[in-house]
Copies of this chain bind each other. A is one copy, B any other.
Amino acid sequence: MEPLTRQKFSELLSQRVMFLDGAYGTELFKRGYIKNREPIELLNITNAKAVLSLQSDYVCAGVDFLLTNTFSANRHKLMKLGYDEYFKEINQSAVKIAKEATKVANKQVFVLGDISSVGEMIEPLGELKSKYVYNIFKEQVEVLVDVGVDGIIIETMSDIKEAKLAYLAARDVAPEIPVLVSMTFEENGVTVTGTSLEVYVALFNDLDVDAIGINCTLTPEKMVPLVKKLVALSKKPVFVEPNAGKPTLSADGKLTYKTTPEEFTIYIEDYVELGANIVGGCCGTGPEHIKYMVQHIGLKRPKARKVEELNVVTSRVHMFNVAPFLVVGERINASARKKLHNEIREFNFENVLKLAKSQEQEGAQVIDVNFGIESVLSEEHFSKAIVELDKIVSIPISFDIQYNEFLESALMEYPGRPLINSSKATKEELDKKIRLLKRYGGLLIVLAMGKEIPKTAEERYTLGKMAVEYLESQGIDRSRIFVDPLVLPIGANQDYNVTLETIKKLSSDGIKTMIGLSNFSFGMPNRDELNASFLALAMHSGLSGAILNTSEDATMKILRGMIRILGKESARISEEVKSSEL
């Protein structure tokens, strides 16, 4: 049989709704194979028949994808349980058993290598280092891929950073096969670590995953609202695996899941109706649930979905819409602050954190991070800073980092959809940023300049537009780009109308713009007066965001005032359009 390419995976999903299997843990427990504290994955080498039997049942039930019994079989988790010496054997055996099981099928069944959490928290929530965790995942994926899985499924993740690291490991090891990612949410639509479904989807929409899913934790019924959000926001195929209800603990210590195959299937039908591409079961579901589901859903074309663009930047826990206006705080900037720069060099982030916190309180939606002269810094300065900020600051970060390797370590550490600040509009620099945007997601600010700053608005506009079109040709959507039309100091007698004109031209093409506002008043007294005034003019010209000094009261008032004015204006216009249509 031909191997499962990403292309083929995508084609299959476009043809019909496909089926995942059900639970392993709860089912193997029910069947009496689980001893205290022993990972169920140990069965792969101690009782392969038990696993094969369950998997054969799933195959007979009609699944399209069979998962390997490797959910907890990463080296870190096995080590904690004392079984890490069997790491390789457990994973290799798992793939073999699954492949064996698929043989009983009367259709092609694909084997997905199952990956989940390392079972301990990563910094700053816990002690583990990102690179260590990345390597743990990488090692497991390598084994699974070596033995021949058709794809990788990352499941039941509750920390978005861990999900991202697992994804990066899987994609790095296996660029050619499908990688499916799924996180698990509480009833309020947020993971136990505070990440909302929206933040999760916003990030993974940017990444090179083949499907985005949600699984576990919730009953089929409680999962419906989350499925609605997921199908509305995900640009990728969607998969859903609910639990078979909420477990009850019986007198003899047994967990019982009460949702019947029939009830389970009613909700699965709802998911499919909403537009889910792949459905299956999580804890408490067994072959009967899957069989009933497959029979009832049968061959069904996936429902077409209308996807809302998530025009947002996010941290782990906060998401800000780019519209109507994105406010980026500029004050973590060590380029002109020797003391701050020295503190950073010594890994003393106290003032960085204070500045972040105060900007957040003043109304910043994103915090720009610029550590000044980078030749005296190391990757650790950046990755450590991101971890520290993640602890204390809940708003997103704008990465104002010059050296690409430092930028990449910071992005690796970042638990959200970032803003990257910035790239010149040269192919060489854009190519570097495109790689990072694809690997880590996020939005990019492109400066409307090459080696020099063009003098006229027409030139800046043309350069900005060309950059946007090049990025689009490389798969980076226009919605992920801001063009910076460049603000020059009025003290140097620069013509600020060039900037305003560039903004107008770009925004009439639907291209977002972002300025470094304070540069306008560079070297002048009473900078807030000048900054606030210019902000009003730039916003009226169509500006989409600014990096600015949130401690300037007048500037923040103009910001709020102009947002209200422009909001009123667009409401008025759409009102006019409506009444003219009547």
Contact = CB atoms under 8 A, between A and B. Distances in A.
Nearest to A535: B536
A532 B553 contact: no
A338 interface: no
A250 interface: no
Interface string A518-550: 000000101011111110110110000000000
Interface stretch (A49-57, A283-291, A561-569): A561-569
A560 interface: yes
A554 interface: yes
Copies of this chain, count: 2
B495 A565 contact: no
A568 B532 contact: no
Contact of A569 (B496, B539, B557): B496
B575 A561 contact: no
A458 to B, nearest CB: 18
Contacts of A491: 568
Range, interface on chain A: 20 to 34
Contacts of A473: none
Given A553-B553, A568-B490, A532 B530 contact: no
Nearest to A524: B564
A30 interface: no
Contacts of A147: none
B490 A530 contact: no
A493 interface: yes
Contacts of A496: 565, 569
Contacts of A536: 532-533, 536-537, 540, 558
Contacts of A565: 490, 496, 530, 533-534
Contacts of A553: 553-554
B530 A561 contact: yes
Given A490-B565, A537-B537, A540-B537, A558 B529 contact: yes
23 contacts: A490-B565, A490-B568, A491-B568, A493-B571, A493-B575, A495-B569, A495-B572, A524-B564, A526-B560, A528-B557, A529-B558, A530-B564, A531-B561, A532-B554, A532-B557, A532-B561, A533-B561, A533-B562, A533-B565, A534-B565, A536-B558, A540-B540, A558-B558
Given A529-B564, A537-B540, A558-B558, 18 more contacts: A490-B564, A491-B568, A493-B568, A493-B571, A494-B572, A495-B572, A524-B564, A526-B561, A529-B557, A529-B560, A532-B532, A532-B536, A532-B557, A533-B536, A533-B561, A533-B562, A536-B558, A554-B557
